[in-house]
Structure 1
Amino acid sequence: MRKITVESSLEVYSSLQELPNDIQMLMQQAIEARAKAYSPYSNFQVGAALSLDNGKIITGNNQENASYPSGLCAERTAIYYAGSQHPNSKITRMAITASSKTKVTDKPIPPCGACRQAILEYEIKQKQPIEIYFMGKVGEVAKSSSLTNLLPFIFDKEVL
């Protein structure tokens, strides 16, 4: 038997205002996307904004459905749009913000497991990490320099 220790390293900013200006602008676009989310069942709105290496910004928000598995998270909405419309561009940064209509979300809210796997797929495809900034509606903003900090045991084509 052997023991494995896994560590992740994140940077945490006290507020949106502490971020560099370009990241504040990216997060603002995620906030605007969050406001357009369709979440009548969970009342949990998520917005994402991606910065591509071609200068484009792609946004997405969660889209729910009464048949729950048929909905789609904000992160995957944005990633898949970027992949279909800008297949040769790399995603350099991602900003995510989440809020609830029933309580204040004041802690950084990371991507769900399915979104982590989708983000990982694009990091592998583009052979380059994606900076991920995430927050609730207010409060601290966390930054991960790569998805692998959020999903240390990756599932990729090498295991298939």
Structure 2
Amino acid sequence: MQKRNITFELTTFDSLEELSSEDANLMAEAVAARKNAYAPYSNFQVGAAVLLENGEIVIGNNQENASYPSGLCAERVAVFYAGAKYPGVGIKSIAITATSTTYQLTEPAAPCGNCRQSISEYEVRQKSPIALLMMGETGKILKCDSMADILPLGFDSSFL
């Protein structure tokens, strides 16, 4: 038997002012997108902004449905829209922010498993990492350099 330890580096910023201007702008786009989320059931609003290699920013927000599995998370809305509107253009980074209408979210919310898998698919396909910025309504901001960091044993087409 052999045990393995899988680790990664994560950068923590105490405020938006500590981010690069590019990352701060991307997070501002995600915050704006979050405000238009349709979340009448969970009251959990999420916004995402995707920065593409060509400089374009594509946004998304969560869209709920009374039949819960029929909704979509902000990250997938943004990533799928980017893929549809700009096919073949690589994704450089994604900013994600979440809040609740029933409490103040002071910790960053990381993507769910479905979103991690979907973003990973794009990362593997483009053969380059996608940086992730994550923030709650207030508080610290987390940044990791690649989706593979938070999904280290990801499933991809090599298994098929």
For residues 31 and 101 of structure 2, the distance between their equivalents in structure 1, rounded to whole angstroms, comes to 14
2:23 partner SS: helix
Please tell me the residue identity of whatever aligns with 1:85: K
Could you state the TM-score of these two structures normalised by the residue count of structure 1?
A: 0.98
Q: Structure 1: any 5+ residue segments left out of the alignment?
A: none
Tell me the residue number matched to 2:23.
23
Please tell me the residue identity of whatever aligns with 2:71: G
1:153 partner SS: coil
For residues 116 and 144 of structure 2, the distance between their equivalents in structure 1, rounded to whole angstroms, comes to 12
Please tell me the residue identity of whatever aligns with 2:155: F
Runs of 4+ in 1 over 2 A off after TM superposition: none
1:37 and 2:37 are equivalent in the alignment: yes
Residues 116-151 of structure 1 show CA distances to partners (whole Å, capped at 9, x for unaligned) of 000100001111101110010111000010001111
Q: How do residues 112-131 of structure 1 correspond to structure 2 at under 5 angstroms? A: 112-131=112-131
Single out whichever of 129-138 and 15-24 deviates more from structure 2.
Answer: 15-24
2:31 partner SS: helix
Tell me the residue number matched to 1:143.
143
For residues 79 and 131 of structure 1, the distance between their equivalents in structure 2, rounded to whole angstroms, comes to 13
Tell me the residue number matched to 2:84.
84
1:8 is displaced (CA, Å) by 2.0
Could you state the TM-score of these two structures normalised by the residue count of structure 2?
A: 0.98
Instruction: Quote the sequence identity (%).
Output: 51
Residues 58-85 of structure 1 show CA distances to partners (whole Å, capped at 9, x for unaligned) of 0000000000000000000000001111
Please tell me the residue identity of whatever aligns with 2:157: K
Q: Is the 8 A contact 1:16 1:139 kept in 2?
A: no
Residues 28-83 of structure 1 show CA distances to partners (whole Å, capped at 9, x for unaligned) of 00000000000000000000001111111000000000000000000000000011
Please tell me the residue identity of whatever aligns with 1:42: S
Please tell me the residue identity of whatever aligns with 1:90: G
Q: Structure 2: any 5+ residue segments left out of the alignment?
A: none
Tell me the residue number matched to 1:7.
7
1:101 and 2:98 are equivalent in the alignment: no
